[in-house]
Amino acid sequence: MFDQELFDDARREFLSHLRYSKGHRPTTCYAYNSDLGIWGTWLVEAGKDWQTVKYPDVEQFAAWQLRDRGISPAIVNRRLSALSTFYRWLMRGGIVDQDPVALAQKPKRPLRIPVWLEKEEQAQLEATIRDRRNIPINVFGHNQKRMTETRRRYEMLFGLLLNSGLRISEALGLKVSDVRLVEGIAKSVRVIGKGNKERWVPLPAAFAQVFGFWLKDRPRTEAVFAKADGKPISPQAARAYLRGMLKKAGIEKKISPHKLRHTYATNLLNAGAELVDIKALLGHESVATTQIYTNVGQERMEKVVGRL
């Protein structure tokens, strides 16, 4: 029999553990909460007890999502991973005897090849962002000076993503104090990534000079990408602005800020970087996550073959 009250109590304590003991971001906790809610609803409808389920029940749950709800294998696997984390935590607390996800067969994920900008496309996008002639004189009452400052801010944001591989949330969370400035040059940035893990990402020399000059004389406590009113840019605004720049540049690929991260990783691979180095720079927990970029290093492979 499904004890809803006990399940809800366990879920709340688990989410509190993730947030305050493990240091997960609120958005991550929201995702876990949603996944566990879907699991609980399915168990009630299927007449199963959350404390005594076995791996065939997990497989039925996965099949229901794939077949009846049309959920992608990637999302189903993410939900199963969330369930496994939940049940392992329950096991440590003596609330359940086993993790029912451990022996369950997982949906096969299709090969996922990341989307990125080719070097010519990257140069085209950067040239379009730098071109101040394509800024309208007046839009929604904004004067050209203010819109030029906005363009410069996004130029630095997208430039940072292309030259550091930061996640958009990581970039927008930066303060000026997180940038290591040496004689006006931005040598590296301090990033607090997933799981509250810190990493330092070095910046290429050319961008380091431009970025450092842009940050000159800014208060150390100020957000790097704060708007004129002091509030930070939202991820949604950044995605919308990037779409506008891609359209002006005549690039039809569906490129998001996260795809600029893919572009950075692909450029590193083509430059001869090892996967372990790319993993560290991107802040991946496992090199298995980084291995998706082995599918896109064609330019590097052509150069290797060319030496024969």
Q: Where in the sequence numbering do the catalytic residues fall?
A: 167, 194, 258, 261, 284, 293
Angle made by CA atoms 247, 113, 118, in degrees to the nearest 5: 45
Secondary structure class of 182 (helix, strand, coil): strand
Per the CB < 8 A criterion, the answer to whether 157 and 210 are in contact is no
Q: Which of 234, 264, 246 is nearest to 153 (CA)?
A: 234
Amino acid at 14: F
Per the CB < 8 A criterion, the answer to whether 161 and 238 are in contact is no
Residue 181: strand pairing partners = 186
Angle between helices 55-68 and 73-92 (to 10 degrees): 150
Amino acid at 5: E
What is the DSSP secondary structure assignment for residue 134, as one 8-state letter?
Answer: G
